[in-house]
A and B are shown apart, each in its own frame.
Chain A
Amino acid sequence: MAANPMTQFEVYRIGPEIKINQIDISFTNASLFMIISALSILLIFNLGSSKKNIIPTKIQLLAELSYSFISKMISDTAGNKGKPYFNLIFSLFMFVLFCNMFGMLPYSFTVTSHIIVTFFLAALIFIGVTVIGFIKHGFGYLKLFVPSGVPLVLLPLIVVIEIISYLSRPISLSVRLFANMMAGHTMMKVFGSFVISLGIVGGWLPLSFSVALTGLEILVAFLQAYVFAILTCIYLNDALNLHH
């Protein structure tokens, strides 16, 4: 095999080593793509919001459609109470989406294929949602772990399961995104190396697979960003409207 399919996930330093108190915070290729993603989002949405046409231009339409898309998603899952968290969910969705999409460019780096990044975002959401829940409901938030209508005998078991399910939220949220991105990119790399190793005669089949996988991966990139955002909305809904 020509190359290890995992080398695409390697992080390397760009520029000098930066250390604060023995902690390495050097600028890496991961940092580069985070900054690129953030700046392109800002650029696109700044262009899309600077004009105030009644009939929108294409880029304005793009910005406004994404705005109403996220807005509708929040009001569908978390209701009107979710409105104040719109900015955060919008930023999250766009950041994840752009990181995923930039990862689709050849020779680029996929920020979201690193567990530490997705786990940090998921932990941020988890802690935030838990704090919001306790602020809104006080200790009543703990009722989330006690579903109504459960026989008394089963209650201890159910409570334990609910607590585990609640605590596994950041893990499932982060691993879902990370594993999807990593698996997809690894597959593409593997098929790509098949094309090289099988040459001009046998390489066409893996090449066509690679083309199909590219389409699939673009879909997955969008879908995972959407799932990430909508799960955030659902967790937020649990914290805002105590249903149990």
Chain B
Amino acid sequence: MPEKEIEGRIFEVDGDGFLQNPEIWNDEVARLFAGEDGTGELSEDHWKVIRFIREHWENNDMAPMVRKICQHTGLRLRQIYELFPMGPARGACKIAGLPKPDGCV
């Protein structure tokens, strides 16, 4: 099982760097993952997206459509891509501690 060390903390991750134990996720983990993958300091808008994705996953066991992310955060599509340059999956979902979604992402 690959591990990722960020600021002295060790996380079990999959090969793509997605958290293996999503239940250990919290705000601190999000901050560390965002710092490590180049997203940088998390703004209020980042948090709106992360919290919505997390909540959606906890309730539905899947990442939300980007349309829903826009709808619930009030952000425009292009803003989402600017906030998370790696995109909603490899960017936002990873920081929100979700497992990697299937498909071409």
A binds B: no
